[in-house]
Amino acid sequence: MKLRSREVVSGLEGLPRRALLKADGLTDADIERPFVAIANSYNQVVPGHLHLRELGEAAAAGIRAAGATPFEFNTIAICDGLAQGHIGMCFSLPSREVVADSVELMLEAHRFDAVVAIASCDKIVPGMLMALARVNIPAIMITGGPMMPGEWQGQPLDIISAFEAVGAVKAGKLSEREAREIEDRCCPGCGSCAGLFTANTMACLNEAIGMSLPSMGTVHAVDAKKRRLAKQSGAQVVKLLRQGITPCRIMTRAAFENAIIVDMTIGGSTNTVLHLPAIAHEAGVKLCLDTFDRLSRRTPHICNLRPEGSHTMLDLERAGGVPAVMKRLGRLIRGSPLTVTGRRVRENLKFVRSSGSDVIRPLTKPYHREGGIAILYGSLAPQGAVVKYAGVRPRMLRHCGPARVFGREEDAVKAILGGRIKRGDVVVIRYEGPKGGPGMREMLAPTATIAGMGLLESVALVTDGRFSGGTRGACIGHVSPEAAEGGPIAVVREGDKILLDIRRRKLELLVPGPELKERLVRFKPPEPRAKKGYLELYQRIVSSAAEGAIRR
């Protein structure tokens, strides 16, 4: 077992560095042991991170018990819920790269031997995984766990209930007093937002890839089992160090395909189509959009969780969580990938009992015969677009209507709340892609408003931005090429007819070919929006959403 930390502390030359470590309170015995980092995104801003300090303490106890020395440091975490609907959302997706870079910098500069990464929420889990693949020292992920669901009038609540309440009040379907009651009850404590939104989807997929201990993805934040798993994870990473098992031995193509299959079968967030390719890129694996669609076509959708379904993350946890889902999928899951248990997937699943709960349906009785996400192509999206198939009402699987065109999210929300969007319309929001936003904002405010106003079965939304995992309805995002790069979405005109046919994977701008070509030739992109700071840099280096919005 070769220890990188010996570069820091060995020999006479290590004397001054040992002196600095002793200033931290370390003894000679501590310095002689392997050094294990704890990369933690704890903060007092994000509900999903409030409790991560406790998980760090539990992981440190496990590391010490296994004979190594823990060192904890922090990285940033942005709450997508707090950033929604204003300029702050421009900074959310770009923060993924900052998380990855900051973890890499700390691990490499201090020559840690192994790392426990502790995170929750949308961009932080993928950012951590990107760093773990990049540095490729023995590593394990601890995800913070879902928030408990709220409750009002006998119905489960989560943060999407609050967003949709805004539209419901505007439509006269809910009083302001009732909306305030939802506000007070929908988020009852710490944890990542309670539905199968991006945070909880990524926690489940992290487990499916094999980078966390079984059951980690669905154990709730307030459950003592989460702290026990954190302690076990601390001890387990020391075993991985002794066995020489590193992330790139775990995060193989087969492992990523297992994660995509789990994503499709549980109906996860469309943001995974950005995050999995970015993580895979760091691990030396290329995932293209066609991989998602190919696996979706042969994977049944067997879990119907909020926001579209009636079940909560708590229901999924009680039904056995990710291990029970993977067990139910049977031969659709590849058994060969290695995991952080030190065993292969098939060995981990060998003793998992198949769920008897209707939360995880049999493969013969799926909600949909195909998976929860579909990739669309056509004259409006030559390089692809993404839709949460599982969240679309049947009558909207094929829709043709006039375009209502907006150059930014705020203008679209004003139009929707002002009653200017009519049944049958296709709302187009452009210049919200990775470059155009910049930062590829989520469109939760307009989609939740459409839902709250009762327009889910009559209005579609198309954007080069992206959607929250809490989005439901005929909402097509990641349209590529984006408007800022001269994609066809840049030349859509008010009233143009747009056809979406999700079953046939089509997204078409119904404009004659020669006219569309002429519009594109005459198109001149506007000046970049960001003039300074991190976003100015980001818009220059970020790739297309079709490539995962990775750094070029």
Over residues 478-535, the pLDDT tens digits come to: 999 999 999 999 999 999 999 999 999 999 999 999 999 999 999 999 999 999 999 9
CA distance 429 to 403: 10
Is residue 309 pLDDT above 90, yes or no?
no
pLDDT at 82 over 80: yes
Predicted confidence (pLDDT) at residue 74 exceeds the cutoff of 80: yes
pLDDT of residue 448: 86
Query: What's the pLDDT score for residue 115?
Result: 99
Strand partners, 163: none
Phi and psi angles of residue 467, each rounded to the nearest 5 degrees, phi first: -120, 150
User: How far apart are the C-alpha atoms of 379 and 520, rounded to whole Å?
Assistant: 12
Rg, Å, the chain Cα set: 23
Query: Do the Cβ atoms of 119 and 217 come closer than 8 Å?
Result: no
Is the pLDDT at 355 greater than 80? The verdict is no
Arithmetic mean of pLDDT, 348-352: 94
Say if CB 173 and CB 452 are below 8 A apart: yes
Minimal CA–CA distance to 133: which of 125, 122, 144, 121?
125
The CA-atom distances, in angstroms, between 213 and each of 238, 328, 497 are 14, 19, 49
Q: Residue 238 burial by CB count (10 A; 0-12/13-18/19+): exposed, middle or buried?
A: buried
- pLDDT mean over 329-346: 98
Provide the 10 A C-beta neighbour count for residue 282: 22
pLDDT of the residue at 303: 96
Give the closest residue to 370 by CA, choosing from 253, 204, 208, 503.
503
Per-residue pLDDT at 311: 93
Q: Which one has a higher pLDDT value, 308 or 72?
A: 72
Retrieve residue 222's tokens: 């307030």
Cα torsion for 442, 447, 448, 453, to the nearest 10°?
160
pLDDT exceeds cutoff 80 at 324: yes
pLDDT score of 136: 98
* Cα–Cα dist 376/448, whole Å: 22
**d(Cα 182, Cα 375) in Å, to the nearest integer?**
34
Confidence of residue 451 (pLDDT cuts 50, 70, 90): confident
pLDDT at 552: 84
Reply yes or no on whether 468 is catalytic.
Answer: yes
Model pLDDT, residue 362 = 95
User: Helices 272-282 & 124-135, crossing angle to 10 degrees?
Assistant: 10
Q: State the pLDDT confidence band at 307, using cuts at 50, 70 and 90.
A: confident
Q: What percent of the chain has pLDDT over 70?
A: 100
pLDDT band at 85 (very low <50, low <70, confident <90, very high): confident
So what's the pLDDT on residue 426? 98
DSSP annotation of 523 reads: -
Unique residue bearing structure tokens 């954007």: 463
Write down the pLDDT at residue 455: 92
Q: Note the pLDDT of residue 472.
A: 87
Q: pLDDT, tens digit, for every residue of 356-393?
A: 789 999 999 999 999 999 999 999 999 999 999 998 99
Band the pLDDT of 470: cuts 50, 70, 90: confident
**Confidence at residue 468, expressed as pLDDT on a 0 to 100 scale:** 85
DSSP label at residue 344: B
> Mean of the pLDDT values across residues 327-338?
97
What is the per-residue pLDDT for 43?
A: 97
Task: Return the closest-CA partner of residue 243 out of 110, 140, 106.
Answer: 140
Assess whether pLDDT exceeds 90 at residue 273. Answer: yes
- Alpha carbon distance 325, 319 (integer Å): 9
**Inter-residue contact 249 to 213 (CB < 8 Å):** no
Among 95, 269, 458, 468, the active-site one is 468
The sheet carrying 69-74 orders its strands as 69-74, 35-40, 114-119, 139-143
Average pLDDT of the residues in 424-443 = 96
**Residue 156 β-bridge partners:** 151
Residues whose CB falls within 8 Å of the CB of residue 58, separated by 6 or more in sequence, listed in order? 227, 228, 230, 231, 234
Per-residue confidence (pLDDT) for residue 288, from 0 to 100: 95
Please, what is the average pLDDT of the chain? 96
Number of C-alpha atoms within 13 angstroms, CB side, residue 51? 24
pLDDT at 167: 87
pTM listed for this prediction? 0.95
